[in-house]
Structure 1
Amino acid sequence: MFENAARPKTGGEALLTALKDCGIDYLFANAGTDFPPIIEGLARLPESAVPTPVTVPHETAAVAMAHGCWLVTGQPQAVMVHVNVGLANAVMGVINAASDNVPVFMLSGRTPLTETGRKGGRMTPIQYGQEMYDQTSLVRDVVKFDYELRYPEQADSVTKRAAALMTSAPEGPVYMSLPKEPLTEPLPDGFAAAGAPVSARPTVPETEAIATLASWIAEAQSPVVLCQRGDPKGRVSNALSRCADVFGLAVAEPFSIRNVLASTDPSLIGYNPKAATAGADLVIVLDSGVPWIEAVSAPERDIRVVHIGPDPLFRRMPVRGYRTDLAITADPAVALESLLKMTPDAGASARRNRVRAWAMDSRNAVQKHDAGGDGPMSAEWMSACVSDIMDDGAVAFSELGLLLPHMTVKGPNRVFSNVHAGGLGWAMPAALGAQLADRDRLVIACMGDGSYMFANPVACHQIAEALNLPILTIIKNNAMWNAVRRSVVKGYPDGAAVRQNRVPLTSLEPLPDFTQVARASRAHAERIERGADLPDALRRAVEIIRTERRQVLLDLSVAASDDH
């Protein structure tokens, strides 16, 4: 029951207290004229009864901050934006969250339903111009649940139902549309809040399925696990490392989204799907939507393939033709723990020795890069140098930036890479969300120059200063859309575009002075032209972050590559 001071009186206040009851600590918000009942509720109710409001001056940044906060805490957060125009700006972030099964509670206002006669009705011209027949259609294809609030008391019950669905496996974003009238209207007499939401977790895998998997491992000479993400708490990493050791499994992390194993794990053979499956006779796909590219790196046709995950067939993907000989629906960590209860076969020791030698050879085969000369540095050198400044708690958000094979990461969830949805501008605001969740952690955002511009950097630097979030932003600057250029080179290696001095639609020159953008928000900013100068610049950056609690931007001259 509510204490009197915390008792909600309106639909808007019931929404706020329900979000808090659901364990949501932050409401990332970009406010509009539909927000008065929310703002009034934040002012009237005790701070302990509502999420902490966080003002974010761009909607895409707000969603990415919620995304980044979840990656380092496992706690979902809420985002509220202004009617259809705010939701339109937020859509890309919702797509990113859906692609990576990240629970974000998405809220937006909705044009008042009524013209006269009700409190909260229309009072401005834009409330006519912003109305849509189906505002929810902007996000319906990528959310697990959507609803338009009709009555004030639903702000409690429907919010808690949405939160339960959001955090049920497989997790993902949900959306509620909020007309102003039910937010403004008083709650009915006798209103009682619903209980806290209960999530539905994946069932324990069938014993028969785990037994089948164990027998297939026993029959294999070279079983390989492909994984590209774990959970925020590191349960998958711990179970996978132990499973790989006990059963002699090689592990590869192709197209990594959240690194799963430490770089020095004796089972980690690298990040290339083709190399990993080339000699395999059993492939275990662990909660990976894109384990390989079917056209160029699919395993041989006679190899067994097992998929494990809360949704092992990835129902949200319309086209996904990976063959499946066994699908196990389960939390990946629970499935691995179940496998560990099985007795390892007689061949496990020999497989383990081969895997350890393979992993060592793979690490030794990674080309070492030095600082280079006076020209642009390599992305390999940049990645190694960034790795060197990362302590045990540091995390890096990489968007077409860091290269995992050239880093030494100390555990799971140290490097978060852009999700496969491809909504750019994610890394910097996601890093801000992670920094908000843990202000003492070293948080790095490393991205290409184009991705930095997509991040709405003026807004992001303002957020960093306003909220005292001293992240380190690193720009991999090659003055082009290099991913687009590489695609053209691979698609038309002898084509007319490649023969030109500059591939059309790829150049970003003349670039603005990114350091000046950062300095507008009092950041420490440097332009680094030579690779030899990068280690000292990174050490300076960490010192400024630690002692001055000030954000830092490093703009690096990095050579374009045909490989990454």
Structure 2
Amino acid sequence: MTDPESGALHRRRFLKGVVIAGGATIAAPAAVQAQTPDKPKANAAPPTAAAKASEREHPPEVERLTTEKTGSDFMVDVCKTLSIDYMASCPGSTFRALQESFINYGQNKSPEWLTCMHEEVSVGMAHGYAKVAGKPMAAIVHGTVGTQHAAMAIYNAYCDRVPIMVFTGNAGPLDERRPGVEWFHSVQDPAVTVRDFVKWDDYPMSLQHFAESTVRGYALACAQPAAPVFITAEAKLQEEPLEERELRKLSIPRLTRASQAVGDANALREAAKMLIAAEAPVIIVDRYARSQQAMDDLVKLAELLQTPVVDNRGRMNMPNTHYLCQSERGPALIAQADCILSLEPVDLYGQLNVMRDQLERTVSSKVKKGVKVISISTHDLLTHSNYQDFQRYAAADINMTADAQTTLPFLIEAIKREMTSGGSAFEARGQKMRGAFNGFADRARKEAALSWDATPISSARMYMELWEHLKKEDWALVSDSDFSSNWPYRLWPMEKHYRAIGGSGAYGVGYQPVAALGAALAHRDAGGGRVAVSITGDGEFNMAPHTLWTAAHHNIPYLTIIQNNRAYHQEVMHVQRMANRHNRGVRNVPIGTTIDNPNIDYAKIAQGYGAVGIGPINDPNDLSEAIRKGIAAVKSGQPALIDVVMQPR
């Protein structure tokens, strides 16, 4: 065995200040010697008045290197009073003190620190989580550069009206900034990059200010319409020592949640009269339901009036197995309607009108003249000027600025009070809806069978093969189906609120993999072994493949199926349309839109990040076994990916 004390330069002897090497004595560096200053001699002369004056003018440099409690500890105390379970981040120095306080002082619990590889993942993960958990998750981004990275995900969440707590760090006082990179990562106004698409922001100037702003921000994020808030944690406040006497002066406000706005009683009474009197009423729902109770209330309202519901699927609003869910007949029903009730419309104008995408764009009405329109929405409560997600203005006969989910029970009661007759007419309308509904499933299955054995694999075949395995499980779809011809809504029974999370908000490319990660985390925490599934386009996945590393690292199980059409196919269609419009043919359309030559092996990418990778699957007859393996991996607690080479839609 080697003698641990052998060797020419042993660490402990080096630190003592002397090493014997070849008979020579090597003195320790001055910096090491300075740690053990010589004691003054007992008979040394006292310092002269001149020496004392010189010391006062040029005092010896004293550095305080440690402390027991800092401002960042108090910031953690503030966050722990809120219902924040997770803090997602890509590491950055502007919040280094906060990170240390969360993981050590806060014991990495409530919130737990989650490691991401891009700020857009941190925020997008919080987006998906909030839509399932029904409460905000936090993300923290690194100064100027992290905020710019995160901006797309913040915008998606803003347009989707989802509550997120976004924090950043910043070195404000210039005399406190370290030379060099800290200047590049600091800014005078940290929120200016995202101010147009957050609900509220603040830059607290004291720890008490931080406490009040964070509690206020949480409450504002949750109040409908929900949206992200953005709070800056000043680096000086984070890192400075917090003395006991200062701590005693601080307090953390108690969180109080605002009650959601309810429609005016007079407006509800008038709306009830309109709906009862209508011969062909239609309910259109978009970003309406946030809970199972909201779905149940919508069913009650529809059954009370025997009125068809057209679900635009901004959320999981209406069970697609209910005979009054008539989304597939939406255009015809809206065209015939004499009264329309729109609940949380994202685009009321677009519900009532259509614009032709041609050289000279023209608008025509979807509805007949004289139709009565009732809108219940919080849309007008959050409207900014620059980023115009508010859509074109549309007039309604009754426009209730209120939370539709909170208001619906009151509307139901108003209808019951006003309803004196009409039961037979309502029942006849209901029978008509039953007859129309009975053909939906059969037509969808016949359409799905048209390309059953096609290669590349059809999206309908993939969804049906997936359903054969999912129907045995408690499952949740954590992806938008707009780019899959809405096959899951047409082929699968979707009867519970958590079955789907709706749309993305701004349709920013890259939302899908990151939101799925957060949604899967919330489903994991719900317990019961729920199988979360994301159908993600290859273009979307390439924006953030490293979400799989975060999933593997933090034990977040879910199944990702890559809808691998080897293109940004939405853009393929746009360029095709322009080429046809310009009479130039479609031969060159693949330039700048396709993802091939070489083809990407997504299964290998997944394996490299620590997830289970399966594929690529080219033969539709291999789908079932691949899906079986993928679901088995998820049920064992692992993230899994299946690469399926598919047709465009």
Instruction: Give the alignment's TM-score, normalised by structure 1.
Output: 0.90
Q: Are 1:136 and 2:225 counterparts?
A: no
Distance 1:40 1:536 in 2: 45
> 1:124: how far off?
4.6
Distance 2:623 2:314 in 1: 26
Distance 2:108 2:91 in 1: 21
> 1:72: how far off?
1.3
Question: Counterpart of 2:412?
Answer: 340
Distance 1:471 1:493 in 2: 41
1:301-346 deviation per Cα after TM superposition (whole angstroms, max 9, x unaligned): 4211111123367634454223311112332223221122132451
- AA matched with 1:310: T
Q: Are 1:253 and 2:311 counterparts?
A: yes
The equivalent position to 1:396 in structure 2, one of 453, 477, 492, is: 477
Gaps of 5+ in 2: 1-67, 356-364
The aligned runs of 1:18-57 (5 Å cut-off) are 18-47=78-107, 50-57=110-117
Bigger drift between 131-140 and 84-93 goes to: 131-140
Change (3 A) 1:50 1:408: closer
1:483-507 deviation per Cα after TM superposition (whole angstroms, max 9, x unaligned): 1122334455454454326444321
Question: Counterpart of 2:137?
Answer: 77
Change (3 A) 1:447 1:99: same
Gaps of 5+ in 1: 1-7, 116-120
- 1:165 aligns to what SS in structure 2? helix
The aligned runs of 1:493-512 (5 Å cut-off) are 493=580, 495-496=582-583, 498-500=585-587, 502-510=589-597, 511-512=599-600
Change (3 A) 1:165 1:494: closer
Distance 1:228 1:387 in 2: 25
Conserved in 2, the CA contact under 8 Å of 1:283 and 1:305? yes
Change (3 A) 1:17 1:481: same
Distance 1:463 1:512 in 2: 21
Q: Are 1:518 and 2:606 counterparts?
A: yes
Distance 1:189 1:414 in 2: 46
The equivalent position to 1:304 in structure 2, one of 372, 384, 387, is: 372
Q: Are 1:236 and 2:294 counterparts?
A: yes
- 1:353 aligns to what SS in structure 2? helix
The equivalent position to 1:168 in structure 2, one of 220, 223, 232, is: 223
Distance 1:488 1:185 in 2: 56
Q: Give the root-mean-square deviation of aligned CA atoms.
A: 2.4
Question: Counterpart of 2:260?
Answer: 202
The aligned runs of 1:322-333 (5 Å cut-off) are 322-333=394-405
Distance 1:153 1:409 in 2: 47
Question: Counterpart of 1:550?
Answer: 638
Change (3 A) 1:430 1:253: same
Distance 1:275 1:387 in 2: 30
Change (3 A) 1:226 1:471: same
1:47-95 deviation per Cα after TM superposition (whole angstroms, max 9, x unaligned): 3875211121211111111111111111211110110101111111111
> 1:522: how far off?
3.2
> 1:512: how far off?
1.8
> 1:171: how far off?
1.0
Question: Counterpart of 2:362?
Answer: none
Question: Counterpart of 1:159?
Answer: 214
Question: Counterpart of 1:527?
Answer: 616
The structure whose Rg is larger is: 2
The equivalent position to 1:185 in structure 2, one of 240, 259, 281, is: 240
Identity rate, percent? 23
Question: Counterpart of 2:515?
Answer: 430
Change (3 A) 1:308 1:11: same
Question: Counterpart of 2:3?
Answer: none
Change (3 A) 1:499 1:200: same
Question: Counterpart of 2:150?
Answer: 90
Q: Are 1:282 and 2:339 counterparts?
A: yes
Distance 2:516 2:113 in 1: 18
Conserved in 1, the CA contact under 8 Å of 2:78 and 2:211? yes
> 1:44: how far off?
4.2
Q: Are 1:536 and 2:616 counterparts?
A: no
Question: Counterpart of 2:427?
Answer: 349
Change (3 A) 1:64 1:363: same
The equivalent position to 1:378 in structure 2, one of 450, 458, 461, is: 458
Distance 1:105 1:126 in 2: 26
Distance 1:12 1:501 in 2: 56
- 1:137 aligns to what SS in structure 2? coil
- AA matched with 1:536: E
- AA matched with 1:142: F
Change (3 A) 1:69 1:393: farther
Change (3 A) 1:94 1:132: same
Bigger drift between 227-236 and 160-169 goes to: 227-236
Q: Are 1:360 and 2:423 counterparts?
A: no
Change (3 A) 1:105 1:45: same
The equivalent position to 2:205 in structure 1, one of 147, 150, 163, is: 150
1:334-360 deviation per Cα after TM superposition (whole angstroms, max 9, x unaligned): 322112213245132222222222333
- AA matched with 2:448: H
Question: Counterpart of 1:270?
Answer: 327
Bigger drift between 277-286 and 198-207 goes to: 198-207
Change (3 A) 1:273 1:15: farther
Conserved in 2, the CA contact under 8 Å of 1:384 and 1:408? no
Instruction: Give the alignment's TM-score, normalised by structure 2.
Output: 0.79
Conserved in 2, the CA contact under 8 Å of 1:252 and 1:269? yes
> 1:46: how far off?
4.4
Conserved in 1, the CA contact under 8 Å of 2:76 and 2:106? no
Bigger drift between 74-83 and 523-532 goes to: 523-532
Aligned length: 545
Conserved in 1, the CA contact under 8 Å of 2:289 and 2:316? no
